[in-house]
Chain A
Amino acid sequence: MIGRTMAKGSIVAGCLAPHPPHLVYAENPPQNEPTSEGGWEQLRWGYERLRESLSKIDHDVLVILSPHWQTYVGTHFLGLPHFEGLSVDPIFPNLFRYSYDLNIDVELSKAIHDKAADAGLAVKMMENPDFRVDYGTITTGHMVNPAFDKPLVVISSNRSRHYYSVEVMQEMMMELGRVTRDAILESGKKAVVLASNSLSHRHFTTESDVPEDMSKEHITSHAMHLWDMRIIEYMRTGQAQRIIDEMPEFTEQAIAESDGGGLTWLLSTLTVPSYPAILHGYGTIIGTGNAIVEWPCYAHEEV
């Protein structure tokens, strides 16, 4: 294109934005059917701070990788402009029955898809209009932007870790992160990238009668706590590479939900940042560890 240069796109922020449906349940938004007496405030205040922070950064699109759209055959992308319906959490249906209505940036999805295919990854666009969007995407989408007034790119979680190893998963997710970044830069859009996963992921096997009874909420074990704090410390001190390096041990020992690839992919889209991330909140949900973290790229990268 002679005589005109398209504005260069950018990743303006990267976030670890976990998706326990409990957080939506605790907020009693109109979209969710069950009602609660609150709960998990530490995390919800954390999301409030994240929303506040993102509201100050101009962005066009949210790119989410959710561990609850699990695909075993390749990585998939939502490929239609609009999805609406009712999402009922299969594990916590008592807490999450949410009417969603969201838009997809199909152009950007397809661009990431095409680049991933060129890089040799198995990829597929999901174009079945009856498809129900996974509750991880919806929860993270809601907690970050409850109005759903910005389009999303939704990427499935390829379960290669189950088939091979965390190492193979990381190789694939590093590659997917690179092509995600390239596609965003080429798109001319400003994107927030979100990995929708918790950290340590050992659940309680019982639920209290009042799920939001915070006197029952704590980490399942000291070992889980230590792992969560170690990973958070790396985030807060700009040592993302160490997270990548320790991912196999972390995933095994903390049964971490990062096994779905989201965290590795996120760090890769941010070119494994060496600047500190902002910890907006940490708390447990039925025993699992959850951190809300933002890498403020706009302040550290050439945009």
Chain B
Amino acid sequence: MTNPILASYVVPVHPHPLLVPEQNEGWQRLRDAFDEARDHIKECGADLIIIYSTTWPSIIGHQIQADPNPTWTLVDQDFHDLGSMDYSFRIDAEFAEAWNQANHARGLQSRTVAYNGFPIDVGSVVALKLLNPDNAIPAVIVSSNVYANRAETTVLAKSCLDVLQSTGKKAVAVTAMSMSNRMFTEFIEASDDKIHSLKDDEWNRKVLEFLEEGRLEDVAQLSRTIHQQIRVQKVVTFKPMWWLSAMNDNRNDLTGRVLAYEALHGAGGAVVHLDPTSNGMGDKEYDEDDVEVYHGERNVLDAESVDESQASDSVNEHGPALWEPAEGKDAVNTDSAPKPVGLYPHARRVGDLLYLSGVGPRQPGTNAIPGGAIRDGDGNPLEYDIKAQTRAVVENIARILEEAGSSMEKVVDVTSFLVDMDRDFAGYNEVWAETLGHYGPTRTTLAIRALPTPIAVEMKVIAKI
């Protein structure tokens, strides 16, 4: 499969190159570099510009802008005296929604935002206004989650690639970020701007040297070190390179070019172009996990409620005994899917096809049922949320597929079992449309009397590998 990223850019976040390039020669050189990038982007044939912005922090997972035409006037919190930034962007809301769903399928917490007046961040505004001034190419913007680690940020890129693959779109990937981000804490004359310290400058140059050699994954792997060395702690963690590298299949042999590197009120601002053409240099030393699905702490609320109010959600108290997945030739088993309730594997390979055992919503490890069990230990019916259950089924399916080297878009046929067709079909169908239905497999839905555990939905999946 060819990677759908036609070009990647690193661009600075402060508004000086947009608003007042004439006040400082360095700011003007950054502006010229932006303009050069703009011309290249226009010619490269991209269907989409995707921006990962470090000046858009989020707390509840990642947020993706999905207002088709966000329009407002932005004023920078610090540099308000440089002027106002009117914006009116063209956002690919459909892509944003699909990315959001793909995030869920890969275990990430995320949501789209589409609200009049939503404050689009300065990094995104500067990038889009300068790189795509006439909105010739629709854009997508994603936030930088303050709690996200490498795994989460990497998976965020992979779910974005999922959608690019399934839609056949080609994209330009942009990270809006500072290099060193230490600014002068005093007001300075424009003409006096320089990188805050020699140490910051040296590190910036080292990082840019790597990028110029196309060694994106090396920079990604050095992210924590770079953060320690040249970032003001706690402001914005240096994590965009995790995303950008994963967007480029974690490659180290891109063709890189630094178009400009200058100071912005002391911070390091660089415009860098990374072309996917191989520079023919050696491969990476890849020494971190290549994460496919996010399994980290992401559900503080649910984890708590399992311990307390909803103990009956855990089926091993009342339900059938849990088994270790059956081993055997061609079997595919994973710790990240719920334990079987009998002697069978999670999936089995036959040629280039993969047959999954029936998958329910139980959570690997805790056995909790998202959305709640349908009955308690004594058989009394309980309220439950079919949408949450269905979503959890899809997430479990995604994990088993990943383990087998397959993925959601390769699903061929699904048989779904509902214990209460009248009550649950609509909710199940809605989640289906947002997730698996999006990739177009055939489907059959059956009503059945019961499932072995107190769940309302199970799916049987056949996929290509």
Query: Which positions in A face B, CB cutoff 8 Å?
Result: 69-74, 76, 85-88, 90-93, 97, 122, 124, 126-128, 130-132, 134, 156, 159-160, 162-163, 203-209, 215-216, 218, 220, 287
Query: Which chain A residues border B57 with CB–CB below 8 Å?
Result: 90-91
Asked if A216 and B61 make an inter-chain contact with CB atoms under 8 angstroms apart, the answer reads: no
Query: Is B58 among interface residues, defined by CB-CB distance under 8 A?
Result: yes
Asked if A206 and B301 make an inter-chain contact with CB atoms under 8 angstroms apart, the answer reads: yes
Asked if A128 and B233 make an inter-chain contact with CB atoms under 8 angstroms apart, the answer reads: no
Q: List 24 A-B contacts (CB under 8 A).
A: A73-B79, A73-B187, A73-B265, A74-B185, A76-B80, A88-B118, A90-B56, A90-B121, A93-B113, A97-B115, A97-B117, A131-B75, A160-B185, A162-B235, A163-B182, A203-B59, A205-B109, A205-B297, A205-B298, A206-B60, A206-B109, A209-B385, A215-B305, A218-B304
Which of A85, A128, A159, A287 sits near B80, CB closer than 8 Å? A128
A88-B119, A205-B60, A206-B302 known; A122 and B234 CB under 8 Å? no
Cα distance A92–B185 in the bound complex, in angstroms: 29
Asked if A130 and B59 make an inter-chain contact with CB atoms under 8 angstroms apart, the answer reads: no
Query: Which positions in B face A, CB cutoff 8 Å?
Result: 56-61, 73-75, 77-81, 83-84, 109, 113, 115-119, 121, 147, 182-187, 232-235, 265, 297-302, 304-305, 309, 385
Cα distance A207–B58 in the bound complex, in angstroms: 12
Cα distance A218–B300 in the bound complex, in angstroms: 11
Asked if A90 and B119 make an inter-chain contact with CB atoms under 8 angstroms apart, the answer reads: yes
Cα distance A97–B72 in the bound complex, in angstroms: 14
Cα distance A178–B299 in the bound complex, in angstroms: 44
Asked if A91 and B59 make an inter-chain contact with CB atoms under 8 angstroms apart, the answer reads: yes
Which of A86, A156, A205 sits near B61, CB closer than 8 Å? A205
Q: How far is the CB of B186 from chain A (nearest CB, A)?
A: 5
Query: Which chain B residues border A204 with CB–CB below 8 Å?
Result: 60, 300-301
A73-B186, A126-B80, A205-B147 known; A162 and B309 CB under 8 Å? no
Query: Which chain B residues border A70 with CB–CB below 8 Å?
Result: 77
Cα distance A134–B75 in the bound complex, in angstroms: 11
A88-B117, A88-B118, A215-B309 known; A208 and B78 CB under 8 Å? no
Cα distance A127–B83 in the bound complex, in angstroms: 10
Asked if B302 and A88 make an inter-chain contact with CB atoms under 8 angstroms apart, the answer reads: no
Query: Which chain A residues border B297 with CB–CB below 8 Å?
Result: 205
Q: How far is the CB of B371 from chain A (nearest CB, A)?
A: 10
Query: Which chain A residues border B80 with CB–CB below 8 Å?
Result: 76, 126-128, 131
Cα distance A239–B22 in the bound complex, in angstroms: 53
Query: Which chain A residues border B79 with CB–CB below 8 Å?
Result: 73
